[in-house]
Amino acid sequence: MATSAEENEQQNQNPKTLNEPINNENEMEIEEDEDYEEEEEEEVKPMSKESRLRAERDNLSALVNRLKKEKVSLRVHDLIIKGNTKTKDSVIEAEIEEILKEANSMQGLIQAAGIANARLRNLEIFESVDITLDSGPSELPGTANVVVNIVETKNPLTGDLGIFTKPEARSWSLEGSLKLKNLLGYADIWDGSVAYGWDQASEISAGIALPRFRGLKNPVTARAMLLSQDWLKFSSYKERMMGISLGLISTRNHNLAYNLTWRNLTDPTQMCSKSIRGQLGHSLLSALKYTFKIDMRDSPLRPTRGYAFASTSHIGGLSPDSRSLRFLRQDFDFRYAIPLGFCKSALNFGVSAGLIFPWGSGFRNMASPLPERYYMGGHTSPVSTLAGTTTLLGFRTRGLGPSEQRRVIVEKTEGETTADAPGRDIIGGDLAVTAFADLSFDLPLKLFRDAGIHGHIFACTGSLNKLTENEYKNLSFQKFKDSFRSSAGVGVIIPTKLLRVEVNYCYILKQLEHDHGKTGVQFSFSSPI
């Protein structure tokens, strides 16, 4: 009885304890009803278009982040080529198959597909290239098929016509070319070109380029040319040359070519210096030329960051013919671009050096081949070229020495003799060094910036010295220092689709007695690429 009384008393003190289960069930029912009402409300309200787009972007962003952070294993099962009616499958496969099958992840495959796309476009025979990834066979998980859809060029014949300036051979020239693409289906390009210079220079050449031919890994190139050049204005001789060039190795950084050329130097005026007179007549050039080149600049035409380096080794005289020109020539070229952070400005500077020397018995007393020597001057900007020590703005093509007094043959009763003649012959140099600094910047008008028109301030210097025929004994540090010429100026560069126009005002800071430098406005026309 006492126990029952105590229990009744506890129940009276805690009335909620008995009713708690009932209240919880009611609360759960109420919460369930509220959730049900909320679900009904969500079902009634459709998701807006903006919300769906936002959700899709979030999902895509999450997928991209996952691909960046996580390595998704994936390999190529098959390469499927579509759209090629003329181009051989083997040519396309040789260009891209190796790089695609090396990829072992989704990230690597996407990157390899981008490189493969660029390689096919560089063949210059397709109007468009589209590379897509498809799932591989269901029984082989983790595989993908690469589908290459191409559209071949409808018109295989293209032509170009332009007026250019080139410092290494012609001051001004009118040039035209025709290209016939993919005639054999091997991505072959047949081309012919004709050039005529205002300084009595003419050139006819034809060539073929085969990037992939019957399993060969290296491109095959061949070119035949006929050149006639009148140097009477500066060197009182004419040059005629015909020959062929064969490309043996051609990769992104390496190039090896063999040249076989028959050259003839004549003096129609019978008036030239001793150095030129000794090399008149026929000669054979049998030579190998190797070039190592690396270009890490963001643009070859207007670099704002990065560096470039080129090394060219040239050995002539591989033929046993006694008339073969025997020489060794080595060139180095370095460029560097530094962004300044305002008005798209950048500071470019470069240093180039070259040396040529004959080889063979008694090479110390021999003269280096006249046409292979270094000649400075010209109009082409040194920023956009990576081809050795040739350009010195403000000086004419072949506009600075070394030079020698011209001589004329005089007939007398006792026989023939020579006497001084008016003018001097530019005979070129065996040791060449050049350097430049160039500050490029955007012009203030938006119209100019959108068109790519920009300005620059430049300074350049260069030196030429003769070393052969024992002249190296007379070269001292002071003589080498005094041999430098220099110029500075400001200009505007106008890039177009047809050509690149450069208008510069050049001021000659230093020149020697017989140099051809002139302060004033100088124009340059060059290729847009």
| 196-218 residue pLDDT tens | 876 667 889 999 998 877 666 77
pLDDT value, residue 22? 44
Return the CATH architecture of domain 68-152.
Roll (3.10)
Residue 69: band (very low, low, confident or very high) from pLDDT cuts 50, 70, 90: low
Query: Each residue of 111-140: b (16+ CB within 10 Å) or e?
Result: ebbeebeeebeebebbeebebeeeebeeee
Q: Which one has a higher pLDDT value, 330 or 16? A: 330
Q: Is the pLDDT of residue 469 over 50?
A: yes
Residues 355-391 pLDDT 10s = 999 998 888 888 899 989 999 888 778 888 887 666 8
Q: Which one has a higher pLDDT value, 295 or 324? A: 295
Residue 485: name the closest of 465, 511, 506 by CA.
Answer: 511
Return the CATH architecture of domain 273-405+423-526.
Beta Barrel (2.40)
> In this structure, which amino acid lies at residue 141?
P
Q: Which one has a higher pLDDT value, 313 or 184? A: 313
Q: Is the pLDDT of residue 248 over 70?
A: yes
pLDDT value, residue 310? 95
pLDDT value, residue 409? 75
Q: Which one has a higher pLDDT value, 228 or 166? A: 228
| Range with the poorest average pLDDT among 187-196, 214-223, 294-303, 489-498 | 214-223
User: Which of the listed ranges 59-63, 291-295, 359-363 does the model predict with the highest average pLDDT?
Assistant: 291-295
pLDDT value, residue 102? 82
Residue 97: name the closest of 181, 4, 212, 206 by CA.
Answer: 212
Q: How large is the average pLDDT for residues 84-91?
A: 87
Burial class (CB in 10 A: 0-12, 13-18, 19+), 179: middle
Sequence-distant (≥ 6) Cβ neighbours of residue 114 within 8 angstroms: none
Q: Is the pLDDT of residue 259 over 50?
A: yes
| Measured distance CA(126)–CA(91) in Å, rounded | 13
Could you give the C-alpha distances from 450 to 106, 369, 443, 444, 447, in angstroms and in order? Answer: 38, 48, 10, 11, 5
Q: How large is the average pLDDT for residues 456-472?
A: 93
| Measured distance CA(133)–CA(113) in Å, rounded | 9
pLDDT value, residue 163? 65
Q: Is the pLDDT of residue 71 over 90?
A: no
Burial class (CB in 10 A: 0-12, 13-18, 19+), 15: exposed
| Range with the poorest average pLDDT among 419-423, 484-488, 503-507 | 419-423
Q: Is the pLDDT of residue 308 over 80?
A: yes
Residues 120-160 pLDDT 10s = 888 888 888 988 888 888 777 878 888 889 898 888 888 88
Residue 20: band (very low, low, confident or very high) from pLDDT cuts 50, 70, 90: very low
Tokens representing 462? 């260069």
pLDDT value, residue 172? 62
Report the percentage of the chain scoring pLDDT > 70.
Answer: 83
- Domain ranges in the chain are 68-152, 155-235+262-267, 273-405+423-526
Residue 360 CA, chain-centre distance (Å), reads 36
| Range with the poorest average pLDDT among 67-76, 165-174, 258-267, 513-522 | 165-174
> Phi, psi (5° rounding) for residue 251?
-125, -170
| Measured distance CA(319)–CA(243) in Å, rounded | 14
Q: Is the pLDDT of residue 497 over 50?
A: yes
Q: Is the pLDDT of residue 14 over 60?
A: no
Q: Does the fold of domain 273-405+423-526 match that of domain 68-152?
A: no
Strand 75-82: give its sheet, edge to edge.
Answer: 75-82, 143-152, 126-135
Q: Is the pLDDT of residue 5 over 70?
A: no
